Structure 1
Amino acid sequence: MTTAFERQLLGTRRPLATPSVQISAPPAQTTARVSAAVAPTSNATLENRHRWERAYRWRLRLTDTAVVIGSTGVAAWIQIAAIAQVHLADAPWQYGRVFVLTAAVWLLFLALFQTRSPRVIGQGIEYRRVLHATGMAFGVAAIAFVIMQSQGIRTQLLIALPLGTAAILATRWTSRRWLQRQRVAGHFVSRALVVGNRYDVEYVIDSLQTDGLHAYKVVGVILDQPHTEIMVDGQRYVSVGSVDDVATHAASLGADSVILASIPEGDRGYIKRLTWQLEGAAAELSLSSPLVDVAGPRMSLRPVEGLPLIQVEIPTFEGGRHLAKRAFDIAVASIALVFVAIVTPFVALAIKLESKGPVFFVQPRVGRDGETFPMLKFRSMHVDAENMLHTVAELNEGSGPLFKLKRDPRVTRVGTFLRKFSIDELPQFANVLLGDMSIVGPRPPLPRETSLYENDTYRRLYIRPGITGPWQISGRSHLSWEESVRLDLRYVENWSVTGDMLILLKTVGTVFKAEGAY
């Protein structure tokens, strides 16, 4: 610290003389910056999208960590408690080490398999990645502990693996339901600009609206013919500009995603130019594929000398996958029939108390390869319902070959309840065990319905019909005939055992909601 006297001396000190040297300013061309060489930066809309994606990933990361530490910790605690009476001094350290390493490997593989990637958020592939990552993590951990001759991995396999896997899938399912509610409210959603010709843009918007995931909100369209408009489900969309200026319009509309429904005719370089335009303005460019209703697992990208070829696996209707499906059917049907045997006396009593006649209703249905089989149901109509069909035929509310009547006078009061919660379908597990049906599959048609099929519709009969299926979880009787056929054909070509399990889980919720059942 300087004193007042020192400050006075410093204040009166003269500055040193500086040499008279003239420093010239650098040429203008050395300080100018070429604007075309500056890398694009993110705009506010793109940053907002990245922000909510990071927030959701952190939510998943926290729940995954809690489940992994909790399940592996429980397994280690049980092991330590079981051998506490042996008084092994190094037991807590030994099993504690196994707990820490198992949890670390598990969390590492969940990250390596990109189970929290924005590309899988809210999609079925998320569950598959979690299962693959978990299986690989415990396989690697088991091999490592066997090589090191370390104790404690067996308890982790028997307790932590099933407990943690079920818990992670449950928390992921809960998170997806939460995300969907947020998206319905307008949060955590991608704002999309759809570009292309009129027909393809209409198809994309209609598909996004019926998707049910609410992942995209269409904020605008750009059609190949300027100053035109389209109408989709009563909503009017006006083209906001030209296909050559997509990035500018995406920024003005606050769109973080661009969906290219179709490219301008004869312009092969359009997609490349569009990706360059969207740098810093959008998070993703999605291309609508002409391969309608072909599931992702059947498609793979194979670049050949700069030519990106999309390979599509041709569906097969026999072989190992179908044997696995049959084994799954037998296992589930065997367990379900135990429950059916318990409830049958009560259902039979209710049916008998209201109307005379048999408890079960046997109806011919068309199964795989067009073969007819007798399908079992609990009787939900009066005994002479088939003879009364001509009296209500003109009241048909169904579409296509289907006959549906919301308030069918032939249905009994007990039958209305049985149909509402699909209890009348329970005896069909016997059909599954006999091999006539599958747990999951297309709806089993009546012979008179198949006589009205068009050529493509017959593909529904390439596999066994199911007790439940995509039609069951997508609206049931509310679906149009065309939509029902489309869902069934998509299932026939793209089914998987994992997909069947997901349909079963969704069926439970659909049955309890009792929507579209009559």
Structure 2
Amino acid sequence: MTVVIGHSAATRTRVLTAPSSRSLKFVPFMLVLLDVAVVAAVSGLASFFDNGMPMFDAQAADDLGSRTTGPLVTLGWVVVIALGGGYRKQVLGGGSDEYKRVLNATLAYTGLLALILFVTQADVSRAFFLLLFAFGLPGLLLARWGARNLLHRARIAGHLGLPVLIAGSPEHVDDIHGVLDRTRWLGYRVVGAVTPPGEAGHTVGGVPVIGTTDDVTTAALQSNAQLILFAGGSSHSAQDLQEKVWQLEERGIGVVVAQSATGIIMSDRASFRPVGGLPLMHLGAPAWAQATRVGKRTFDFLGALALLAAFSPLFLFIALRIKLHDGGPVFFQQSRVGRQGVPFRCAKFRTMVPNAEDLLAALHAQTNYDGGLFKMADDPRITKPGRWLRRFSLDELPQLWNVVRGDMSLVGPRPPLPHEVARYDVAARRRLHVRPGMTGLWQVSGRSDLSWEHAIRLDLYYVDHWSMLQDLHILWRTLGVVILGRGAY
């Protein structure tokens, strides 16, 4: 069973009913062919540079690029990726897990191949070996990135979709449907819902109710759904949920269980061990504990210093532009809450009029503000240079100094205001286990377009599922979001 984190947000009233494409089952096969082509290409490229550059002492003419050994190396590499789950449908097209599996499989294959070459005493130059993996790993990751973009475009256009039936209470159905409707690139096409007996018609969010949770299997067969997503309110007990899963599995229907259906956040740190025939779930150390250690801090410190040096001419230009516009201060400093609730002064380039804070109360009354992050699409306090600074997130560049100081991280939850933290419940306070970030899942998932609840849940997901690879993935996605200026105001 796969676990999906549910998010709350306003949903559209229409229901996506695009049928599943028969081509969907060929996606893993196409990725295998793509990886074979990439590995074959980098093998040839490594062989060319090895034999063609005099600095490399290549004595063997029959190296890994030969007719027999080359194909075996290519096949072995792809087999190791497959054994590592790099072609599983569940990891394709979303999240960093797909890249992580390719990375781990490549590192494992590097060690395995080195061992084989040592034992067999194969006459292969070390330069070729290093070039093979120096070209191969980036090539495979870039190929996966390109394939993922094509897959996302196809899904958004209505192709390669998977018909999904959501089971649960109407509120939870709308909650999950809102997420799937916003993230159409995932390929889940909601065809209906099954709710507890007594509900009929449509949910508030517009999802048609086509059956009850007492008979999920019949509703799935009648709607031709290929996957059932169990949300909160879908079952009376754990045993009831298990029996429904068994029935669906017998008919070849996929099953996804949302967090709200179990009440427990399951992640990579969860492992099951049988005790007296009873499978017990053991939780390892939380991911946020790893996110506070030396490796991430070193990466933040060196990365921020490098970016400060690279952007120094841009800093000067922005400072002059702000100063010449109205003569006010260049920087705006605001109290934010950092790791473990420690306050710090967060620096930004000023994008509003100097008396912006004095005008805030009137805007709260005008927009019926009821708490959380305050954002207006056409905030009258924003200056002319401030608009393009905000659009491309250039106003946040001074926070690189906060990263150097250790107040913030390059990637992490959004730095909250003190009055926001005062409203946190027990779950939301988990955001404070790690340093806030200049960017994060909230930045690459909608920025100001996100609801308060959605932003909180994205931050909690980051805290509970942190990895260095995910940080690199978020930084890469941030580049595209900033260049396009999506969701910024």
TM range (shorter): 0.7 to 0.9
Aligned CA distance change for structure 1 residues 284 and 156 (closer, same or farther; 3 Å): farther
Q: State the alpha-carbon separation in 1 of the partners of residues 141 and 376 from structure 2.
A: 39
> Does the alignment pair 1:516 with 2:487?
yes
Query: Is residue 117 from structure 1 mapped to residue 88 from structure 2 by the alignment?
Result: yes
2: distance between equivalents of 1:385 and 1:263?
48
Partner Cα distance (1:306, 1:106) in 2? 38
1:324-335 aligned at under 5 Å gives the runs 324-335=295-306
Change (3 A) 1:400 1:157: farther
Report percent identity of matched pairs: 36
Structure 1 counterpart of 2:429, from 443, 451, 458: 458
How far the C-alpha of 1:269 sits from its partner, in A, is 6.2
1:339-362 CA distance string (max 9 Å, x none): 221211221222222121332223
- 1:322 is aligned with what amino acid? R
Deviation at 1:318, TM superposition (A): 4.2
Deviations 1:354-410 (A, max 9, x none): 121332223222212222222221222233333443454433476523232322232
> Which of 370, 392, 410 is matched with 1:439 structurally?
410
How large is the Cα RMSD of the aligned pairs? 3.0
Q: Which residue of 1 aligns with 2:258?
A: 288
Distance 2:131 2:88 in 1: 28
CA spacing shift, 1:425–1:450, aligned 2, 3 Å: same
Q: Does 1:164 align with 2:136?
A: yes
Asked whether the equivalents of residues 397 and 406 of structure 1 are also in contact (C-alpha less than 8 Å), the reply is no
Q: Residue type matched to 2:177 in 1?
A: I
* 1:303-340 alpha-carbon deviations (Å, 9 max, x no partner): 33443333333526546862222122112212211122
After superposing the two structures, state which structure 1 stretch, 266-275 or 380-389, moved more. 266-275
* Aligned-residue offset at 1:416: 0.8
1:10 is matched with: none
1:32-51 residue CA offsets vs partner (Å, 9 max, x unmatched): xxxxxxxxxxxxxxxx9694
| Aligned counterparts, 1:270-419, within 5 A | 271-272=242-243, 275-276=246-247, 279=250, 281-289=251-259, 290-291=261-262, 294=265, 296-313=267-284, 315=286, 317-318=288-289, 322-396=293-367, 400-419=371-390
The offset of 1:202, in angstroms, is 4.2
Match of 2:445 among 456, 471, 474: 474
Higher relative contact order (CA 8 A, sep 6+): 2
Matched, 1:223 2:223: no
TM-score by length of 1: 0.81
Question: Quick check: 209-218 or 262-271, which moved more?
Answer: 262-271
* CA gap 1:184/1:335 in 2 versus in 1, 3 angstroms: same
**Among residues 44, 59, 62, which one is paired with 1:93 in the alignment?**
62
Number of equivalent positions = 466
How far apart in 2 are the matches of 1:423 and 1:415?
9
Q: Give distance in 2, aligned partners of 1:126 and 1:486.
A: 22
Query: How has the CA–CA distance of structure 1 residues 397 and 472 changed in structure 2, closer, same or farther, with 3 Å as cutoff?
Result: farther
Give the structure 2 partner of residue 505 of structure 1: 476
Letter in 2 for 1:79: D
Shift of 1:106: 1.4
**Matched position secondary structure for 2:348:** strand
State the distance in 2 between where 1:266 and 1:486 align: 25
Deviations 1:146-171 (A, max 9, x none): 23333435324432223221221122
Cα distance in 1 for partners of 2:336, 2:244 equals 55
Q: Any unmatched runs of 5+ in structure 1?
A: 1-47
- The verdict on how the C-alpha distance between 1:308 and 1:332 changes in structure 2, with shifts beyond 3 A counting, is same
Q: 2:447 is matched by which residue type in structure 1?
A: R
Question: Which residue identity is paired with 1:330?
Answer: F
Structure 1 counterpart of 2:15: none
Q: Give the whole-Å Cα distance in 2 for the aligned partners of 1:461 and 1:185.
A: 39
Distance 1:326 1:227 in 2: 52
Aligned with residue 182 of structure 1, among 133, 139, 154? 154
Counterparts in 2 of 1:295 and 1:358: CA distance versus 1, 3 Å: farther
Query: How far 1:59 moved relative to its partner?
Result: 1.7
Amino acid at match of 1:389: L
- Secondary structure of 2:280's partner? strand
Amino acid at match of 1:251: L
C-alpha displacement of 1:127? 0.9
Q: Please name the residue that 2:236 is paired with.
A: 265
Question: How far 1:476 sits from its partner (Å)?
Answer: 1.3
SS of residue in 2 equivalent to 1:193: strand
